[in-house]
A and B are shown apart, each in its own frame.
Chain A
Amino acid sequence: NAGVTQTPKFRVLKTGQSMTLLCAQDMNHEYMYWYRQDPGMGLRLIHYSVGEGTTAKGEVPDGYNVSRLKKQNFLLGLESAAPSQTSVYFCASSYRPSGTQHTGELFFGEGSRLTVL
């Protein structure tokens, strides 16, 4: 049982290049999320999905796009990378919150470190 798997773990891009981060979960979770972690700023939500075929914007969505074509996968795309997007990206998933049965705690991947030069 792998949990949440992110690929790639490391990537270096030049300004203007594009790339896609892949997140896969094997826990049959309905909800999936992409966060970025920057020093002194904690985790900030980029985009999230409450089910297959649906996506929504989080706190910092600009410059990113996402897709959830399959329930187990959540892709994060950078169309034209900028140095400000240098960060560590975390994917997470959770059950649909439903009172006390599922309280929405997140299960995280190991992170993808992206550097944009």
Chain B
Amino acid sequence: AQSVAQPEDQVNVAEGNPLTVKCTYSVSGNPYLFWYVQYPNRGLQFLLKYITGDNLVKGSYGFEAEFNKSQTSFHLKKPSALVSDSALYFCAVRAYTGFQKLVFGTGTRLLVSP
């Protein structure tokens, strides 16, 4: 069975500082990994995905994520946080083969202070 863990309910960072939102996963075989962002009273928006190849994936709004197979992690990063990055972030995983449902983590709230 697939699962995703987001160990932090909330991450606080000052504007201009680098940010990291953590995600670890469990899946049989090779994973497809995703990050989504949810702004207040909105649906989830796709940020980036890892399929295969380069372990550093770049996505929307200056975000990137690093895939680490040995640590089964897919942490979301940004070199310089903006106040407008404050939102709820979800990590998700799907197995590579066959139809497997996308499984979401419980979400991490990012608060960027001015």
Q: How many residues of B contact A (CB 8 A)?
A: 23
Q: Which residues of A contact B51 (CB under 8 A)?
A: 100, 103
B106 near A90 (CB under 8 angstroms)? no
B99 at the interface (CB under 8 A from A): yes
Interface residues on chain A, size class: 20 to 34
B90 near A106 (CB under 8 angstroms)? no
Question: A27 to B16, alpha carbons, bound, how many Å?
Answer: 37
A108 near B44 (CB under 8 angstroms)? yes
Main SS at interface, chain B: loop
- Tell me the B4-20 residues at the A interface (CB within 8 Å): 9
A109 near B43 (CB under 8 angstroms)? yes
How far apart are B70's CB and chain A's nearest CB, in angstroms? 22
* A103-B104 contact in complex given A42-B90, A90-B43, A110-B43, C-beta closer than 8 Å: no
Q: Which residues of A contact B94 (CB under 8 A)?
A: 97, 103-104
- Tell me the A68-97 residues at the B interface (CB within 8 Å): 90, 92, 96-97
What is B's interface to A at a CB cutoff of 8 Å?
A: 9, 32, 34, 36, 41-46, 49, 51-52, 90, 94, 99-102, 104-107
- 10 of the cross-chain contacts (CB-CB < 8 Å) are A42-B90, A45-B101, A97-B94, A103-B32, A103-B49, A104-B102, A105-B34, A106-B46, A109-B43, A110-B43
